[in-house]
């Protein structure tokens, strides 16, 4: 199954939750915000949200900036 994470295509084995995707990518869920097909997810949705073919995920975090 193919999804897009931060603009890059990624092959995953289904079914994969957002929480599992965090682990796969090596991201600390407490340090990022996730958008699933343009909708911001609350942390309690990470386990229950299962990715589907063609889904778009954005993982966003704070960086230095003025």
Q: Are 23 and 16 in contact (CB under 8 A)?
A: no
Interatomic CA distance for residues 36 and 64, integer angstroms: 24
In the set 14, 23, 25, 50, which binds other proteins (CB under 8 A)? 25
Which residue of 40, 47, 48, 50 would you call a contact of other proteins, by CB under 8 A? Answer: 40
Residue of the chain from 7, 9, 13, 44 that contacts other proteins (CB under 8 A): 7
* Chain centre to alpha carbon of residue 6: 8
| β 39-40/33-36 pair status | antiparallel
- Residue 13 is a binding residue for other proteins (CB under 8 A): no
Contact criterion met (CB below 8 Å) for 6 and 58: yes
Per rule CB under 8 A, is residue 1 in the interface with other proteins? Answer: no
Contact positions toward other proteins, by CB under 8 A?
Answer: 5-8, 10, 25-28, 31-33, 35, 40, 42, 58-66
């Amino acid at each position: 199954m193919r999804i897009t994470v931060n603009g890059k295509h990624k092959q995953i084995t289904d079914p994969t939750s957002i929480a599992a995707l965090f682990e796969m990518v090596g991201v600390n869920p407490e340090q990022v915000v996730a958008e699933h097909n343009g909708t911001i997810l609350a942390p309690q949705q990470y386990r229950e949200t299962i990715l589907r073919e063609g889904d778009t995920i954005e993982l966003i975090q704070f960086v230095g900036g003025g």
